[in-house]
C-alpha cells in the first residue's frame, strides 16, 4: 500500500465525485459540480488537499481564505461560501475556512482525516493565518435531541460520554467549539440543522509588522525507552507498540524510534530451547511485526524506526535487522554490520553488507544498531551520503556497555554535524536466556556549538525508566553550523591526506555475500585510505 498526501488536481474530480456520493449517501448523495471544484482550484489551489491510496484519491479537504470579521460568528454555510460561489474567498484573508472534509468509508481505519488536518495546519502556519474555522455537523445529535440540548450534547461529547463521528474527530485534532450555530445547513436532519463553529488557533501567528520567515525544518522525534516485560501473546505485544505509536502521534511526532531487540519478550515461549534455536524461533515473528509497524506508520502518520529484530534470510543466515517504516507505506531495512561477541557466541549472528542513508519526508536519515555506532567510519560514510539524523537502537545490560554507546553516539553527532537519537530497553526480563537485565538512558544528541545546548544534549530520558522522549530538532541549524560554525569539522577534513570510503559498492557487496560462506567482514568493511 502506498499513501500520499498532496494538493488536489483538476484530474482528480472523478475520484472526488465518487467519494462524495458514497460519503453522503445517507443524506441524498449530493456532490460538488466540477465547475465548483475548478473554481476552488483556481482561486486557492494550495488549500485543497487530498490523500491518494495506491493511485486513487479517497479523502479530500476543501477550504477558502476569508476575512472573518466580515462574517462574525452568526453565519450560515450558504453565507460563508457566498451562496456556494466562493466569492467570499480573499487572498489576504486572515483565517482558513474549512468547507469540506470527507473520507471514503472503506478507508476510514487508516486515519486519513488526520493527515488532511495536519496538512491544513501546516499550510495555516506557512501562510501566517490566525487559525482554521469550520462549521461542523453533529450527525448523532438526532439520537439525543429529545433529551439533550445542543449545548448539553456537545458537553457530553467532550467528556467522551457520547461519540459523535464528526465532533469527536474535530476535538481530537485540537479544535475547540467556539459557538453553536442554528440553521447552519438547512436540510441536515441528522444534526437537526445545528452545527458547531469550530476553531483551531495557530499559536505561531504573528501580526504582519512582527512577521518572521517561517521554517518547516523542525523535525519532532518520539524516542521510546522500552520496558522489557513478558507478554501473553503476539497481539498483546503489538498492543503495547501501538500504544506508543498513538502517543507520539498525539504529539505530532515525525519519527518514532524503538530499541534494539525490543521484541525479545516473545522469546519466552522458547526458553527451554538452546539459545541459537530460540532466537530463530523469535525470527519467525519478524515479518508479522514489521507488517504491523508499517500499518501503524500509516495509521498514526509517523515514520517508525522499528528498533531491531532477528531475521533469517534465504541464505539461512541470521541477521540483526532494523526497519524504517515510512508513513507513506513503504519500508527499508538495515542489517547490523558489526556483530558483538555475545551475538556471535549465543546466537550465531552474522553481519550485514550495506551502509546507506535513507530518504524520508523529513530529510535523509541513517540507522546504526548499537555496536555499529562505536565504529566512526560508518557514521562518516552516512554523513557523506547526506545523513542529517542518525538513529541508534541499542540494547545494553551494564552501565559500562551503555557508556560506550552513549559517548560514541555523542562523538558521531559532533564529528558528522548531525543529530543522533539513541533508544534503549530497560528493566529485567525473566524466562528469557541472555536477556535478563538491561540498562539504558535514551537521549537525543546534537553537535557542539552556539546553536545547540552547551552540553550537546537536546533531551534525555530518566535512567532505567520506561518513558517517551519528545524532542524537536532543527535541520536548518545543521546548515548554519556547516557554513558558519566555530569549527567546521566536515569541511576541515584533510582529504588530501586521508579519506573514508567503501571497498565495494552495495550491489557488488551483495554478490560477495552470496559467494562468501563465512560472511567474511573483511570483504566489504569500510576502510580509511591514507594517501602519500
Q: pLDDT for 406-450, tens place per residue?
A: 999 999 999 999 999 999 999 988 888 888 799 999 999 999 999
Do 19 and 73 reside in the same domain of the chain? yes
DSSP labels, 293-329: HHHHHHHTT-EEE--BEEEE-TTS-EEEEEEEE-TTS
Give domain status of residue 412, yes or no: yes
CA distance 512 to 406: 33
Percent of the chain with pLDDT over 70: 92
Least confident of 189-198, 400-409, 411-420: 189-198
Residue 189 confidence class, pLDDT cut points 50, 70, 90 = confident
* CATH assignment of the domain containing 118: 3.40.630.30
Give domain status of residue 519, yes or no: no
Which pLDDT value is given to residue 468?
Answer: 97
Do 265 and 390 reside in the same domain of the chain? yes
Average pLDDT in the 393-418 region?
A: 97
Do 163 and 286 reside in the same domain of the chain? no
pLDDT tens digit sequence for 330-355: 999 999 999 999 999 999 999 999 99
Residue 385 confidence class, pLDDT cut points 50, 70, 90 = very high
Give the chain's mean pLDDT.
90
CA distance 373 to 394: 9
In the numeric block, which cell numbers belong to residue 422?
539513541
Do 129 and 170 reside in the same domain of the chain? yes
Which pLDDT value is given to residue 434?
Answer: 80
Average pLDDT in the 235-253 region?
A: 95
Using the structure block, give the residue that is written with the C-alpha cell 489576504: 92
Do 436 and 379 reside in the same domain of the chain? yes
* Cβ contact 379:356 at 8 Å: no
Residue 203 confidence class, pLDDT cut points 50, 70, 90 = confident
* Cβ contact 307:259 at 8 Å: yes
pLDDT tens digit sequence for 6-28: 999 999 999 999 999 998 776 56
Average pLDDT in the 131-142 region?
A: 94
Do 126 and 262 reside in the same domain of the chain? no
* Cβ contact 351:521 at 8 Å: yes
Do 444 and 478 reside in the same domain of the chain? yes
Give domain status of residue 512, yes or no: no
Which pLDDT value is given to residue 502?
Answer: 85
Do 196 and 255 reside in the same domain of the chain? no
Give domain status of residue 305, yes or no: yes
Do 161 and 247 reside in the same domain of the chain? no
pLDDT at 213 over 50: no
Do 222 and 186 reside in the same domain of the chain? no
Percent of the chain with pLDDT over 90: 81
Do 235 and 105 reside in the same domain of the chain? no
Which pLDDT value is given to residue 520?
Answer: 45
pLDDT at 300 over 90: yes
- Residues contacting residue 39 through CB under 8 Å, at least 6 positions apart: 85, 86
The tally of domains found in the chain comes to 2
Which pLDDT value is given to residue 217?
Answer: 83
Last residue of a domain, which of 458, 485, 512?
485
Which pLDDT value is given to residue 529?
Answer: 40
Which pLDDT value is given to residue 214?
Answer: 38
Give domain status of residue 80, yes or no: yes
Last residue of a domain, which of 178, 207, 236?
207
* CATH assignment of the domain containing 258: 3.60.110.10
> Which structural domain range is residue 407 located in?
218-485
CA distance 398 to 409: 17
pLDDT at 525 over 50: no
Which pLDDT value is given to residue 430?
Answer: 85
Give domain status of residue 499, yes or no: no
CA distance 309 to 89: 52
> CA angle 408-261-512, nearest 5°?
75
Give pTM, 2 decimals. Answer: 0.78
pLDDT at 504 over 80: no
Backbone angles phi, psi at 21, to 5 degrees: -60, -40
Least confident of 28-37, 301-310, 363-372, 407-416: 28-37
Angle between helices 399-416 and 376-384 (to 10 degrees): 30
CA distance 242 to 247: 8
Angle between helices 34-43 and 13-23 (to 10 degrees): 120
pLDDT at 155 over 60: yes
Give domain status of residue 494, yes or no: no
Give domain status of residue 191, yes or no: yes
> 78: alpha, beta or left, given left = phi > 0 and alpha = psi -120 to 50?
alpha
Q: 10 Å Cβ neighbour count for 79?
A: 12
- The listed range with the strongest mean pLDDT (181-190, 352-361, 474-483) is 352-361
State how beta strands 218-227 and 467-474 pair: antiparallel
Last residue of a domain, which of 467, 485, 503?
485
Do 153 and 239 reside in the same domain of the chain? no
- The listed range with the strongest mean pLDDT (23-27, 68-72, 181-185, 235-239) is 235-239
* Cβ contact 177:154 at 8 Å: yes
Which pLDDT value is given to residue 509?
Answer: 52
pLDDT at 316 over 60: yes
Which residues are catalytically annotated? 260, 336, 370
Amino acid at each position: 500500500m502506498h499513501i500520499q498526501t498532496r494538493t488536489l488536481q483538476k484530474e482528480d474530480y472523478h475520484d472526488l465525485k465518487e467519494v462524495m456520493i458514497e460519503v453522503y449517501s445517507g443524506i441524498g448523495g449530493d456532490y460538488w459540480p466540477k465547475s465548483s471544484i475548478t473554481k476552488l482550484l483556481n482561486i486557492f489551489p494550495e488549500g485543497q488537499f487530498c490523500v491518494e491510496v495506491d493511485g486513487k484519491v479517497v479523502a479530500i479537504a476543501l477550504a477558502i481564505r476569508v476575512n472573518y470579521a466580515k462574517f462574525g460568528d452568526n453565519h450560515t454555510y450558504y453565507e460563508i461560501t457566498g451562496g456556494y460561489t466562493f466569492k467570499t474567498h480573499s487572498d489576504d484573508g486572515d483565517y482558513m475556512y474549512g468547507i469540506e472534509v470527507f473520507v471514503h468509508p472503506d478507508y476510514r481505519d487508516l486515519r486519513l482525516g488526520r493527515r488532511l488536518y495536519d496538512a491544513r495546519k501546516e499550510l495555516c502556519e506557512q501562510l501566517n493565518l490566525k487559525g482554521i474555522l469550520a462549521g461542523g455537523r453533529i450527525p448523532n445529535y438526532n439520537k439525543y435531541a429529545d433529551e439533550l440540548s445542543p449545548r448539553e450534547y456537545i458537553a457530553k461529547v467532550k467528556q467522551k460520554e457520547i461519540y459523535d463521528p464528526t465532533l469527536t474527530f474535530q476535538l481530537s485534532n485540537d479544535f475547540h467549539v467556539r459557538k453553536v450555530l442554528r440553521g447552519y445547513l438547512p436540510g441536515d436532519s441528522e444534526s437537526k440543522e445545528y452545527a458547531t463553529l469550530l476553531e483551531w488557533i495557530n499559536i505561531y501567528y504573528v501580526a504582519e509588522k512582527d512577521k518572521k520567515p517561517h521554517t518547516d525544518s523542525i523535525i519532532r522525534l518520539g524516542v521510546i525507552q522500552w520496558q522489557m516485560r513478558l507478554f501473553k501473546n503476539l497481539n498483546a505485544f503489538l498492543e503495547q507498540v501501538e500504544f506508543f505509536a498513538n502517543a507520539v502521534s498525539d504529539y505530532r511526532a515525525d519519527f518514532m524510534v524503538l530499541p534494539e531487540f525490543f521484541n525479545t519478550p516473545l522469546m519466552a515461549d522458547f526458553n527451554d530451547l538452546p539459545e541459537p534455536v530460540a532466537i530463530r524461533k523469535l525470527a519467525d515473528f519478524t515479518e508479522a511485526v514489521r507488517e504491523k509497524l508499517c500499518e501503524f506508520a500509516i495509521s498514526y502518520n509517523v515514520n517508525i524506526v522499528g528498533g531491531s529484530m532477528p531475521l533469517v534470510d534465504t541464505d539461512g543466515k541470521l541477521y540483526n535487522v532494523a526497519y524504517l517504516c515510512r508513513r507513506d507505506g513503504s519500508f527499508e531495512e538495515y542489517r547490523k554490520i558489526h556483530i558483538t561477541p555475545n551475538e556471535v557466541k549465543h546466537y550465531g549472528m552474522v553481519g550485514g553488507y550495506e551502509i546507506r542513508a535513507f530518504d524520508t519526508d523529513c530529510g535523509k536519515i541513517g540507522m546504526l544498531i548499537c555496536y555499529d555506532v562505536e565504529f566512526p567510519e560508518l557514521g562518516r560514510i552516512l554523513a557523506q551520503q547526506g545523513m542529517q539524523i542518525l538513529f541508534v537502537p541499542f540494547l545494553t545490560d551494564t552501565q559500562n556497555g551503555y557508556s560506550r554507546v552513549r559517548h560514541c553516539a555523542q562523538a558521531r553527532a559532533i564529528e558528522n554535524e548531525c543529530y543522533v537519537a539513541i533508544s534503549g530497553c530497560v528493566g529485567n526480563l525473566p524466562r528469557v536466556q541472555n536477556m535478563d537485565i538491561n540498562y539504558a538512558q535514551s537521549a537525543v544528541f546534537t553537535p557542539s556549538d552556539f546553536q545547540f545546548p552547551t552540553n550537546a544534549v537536546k533531551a534525555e530520558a530518566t535512567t532505567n525508566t520506561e518513558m517517551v522522549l519528545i524532542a524537536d530538532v532543527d535541520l536548518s541549524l545543521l546548515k548554519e553550523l556547516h557554513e558558519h560554525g566555530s569549527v567546521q569539522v566536515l569541511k576541515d577534513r584533510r582529504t588530501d591526506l586521508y579519506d573514508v570510503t567503501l571497498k565495494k559498492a552495495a550491489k557488488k557487496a551483495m554478490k560477495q555475500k552470496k559467494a562468501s560462506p563465512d560472511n567474511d567482514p573483511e570483504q566489504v568493511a569500510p576502510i580509511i585510505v591514507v594517501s602519500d
